[in-house]
Amino acid sequence: MRFWLNFAVFASSLNLVFAQGGGQFVSYLQTANVKNEQLAEEKLGSLIAKLGEKERKSDRQFLRSVFNLTHRQVLKQYDQYATFGELFESGRYDCLTATALYSVVLSKLGYAHSVIETNYHIFLLINSDEGQILMESTDPIGGFEYNQERITNRIEQYKKDAAVVLANQAASGYLLFNEVSMDELKGLLYYNQCVKAFNNQQWMEAIKNLDLASRYYYSERIQEMENLLMNVIASAKLENAKESDEVSTTRFQVAQRYQQP
């Protein structure tokens, strides 16, 4: 009898948790062509349920369990530019999608946290009763840090790394170290898919995702990609008339979307 009573209480609290973070999860799924949204919801629900069974002796101990179990249960194989949907379909992930997943899980569990974006990196800072905790999603061994001095040193190193990259770029380079909102994180998910399409020379797909990204997070990296995409399309060499017509249409759409006011 006690088991069923405890289970009912847990199920009730789980429903509340889903209500708190469900919008964020669905929003991120929208950035990918998810074949089975119900499967994704079930896998996330299973993860949250297993975490709910763990005893919370301290925030640090529990959040370490969150970090480790999420890696074991969902994050199977690193794949640059994997979509958010692929987390649940195949376990493939990258730094951005894994960070987005941790943000969803932390929101559902009621932990206030920040997502920090640098030029080539993204990580989480979680507020706990024992101080800040840093999570770096692609490092299953050393990606959970609670020592305050080491967190400070790590953040300073991120800033130095970004500055080195900036120093090696052209004068138009930019330095990023921003806290991003849930909506802005969605914009970054679209941006990554734009970069993937761009690398595959899928110009229309790149334009579509860049347009969606800019609606949620119009940042320096979006502006840079706008200029790059326009320049590449404008200089593209095509081999037949059909391809030429397609690129002419593409070039017009890019110009219409990104012309200066």
Q: What is the pLDDT of residues 154-184, one digit of tens each?
A: 999 998 888 887 777 655 578 889 999 999 9
Residue 4: pLDDT band with limits 50, 70, 90:
very low
CA distances from 255 to 235, 250, 259 (A): 14, 9, 5
pLDDT tens per residue across span 137-152 = 999 999 999 999 999 9
List 116's β-bridge partners, or say none. Answer: 123, 179
Q: Which domains does the chain have, with CATH numbers?
A: 2-167 (3.10.620), 181-258 (no CATH)
Alpha helices in 30-141 (DSSP H): 37-52, 59-73, 86-89, 95-108
**Residue pointed to by tokens 């900036």:** 166
- At residue 33, the pLDDT reads 87
| Total length of the chain | 261
Whether residue 83 contacts residue 32, with contact meaning beta carbons closer than 8 Å, is answered with: yes
H or E element that contains 117: strand 113-118
Is residue 2 predicted with pLDDT exceeding 50? no
d(CA 220, CA 176): 8
122/127 Cα distance (integer angstroms): 17
| pLDDT tens digits, 31-64 | 998 888 999 999 999 999 999 999 888 999 999 9
CA dist., res. 146 & res. 150, Å (int)? 8
Residue type, 139: D
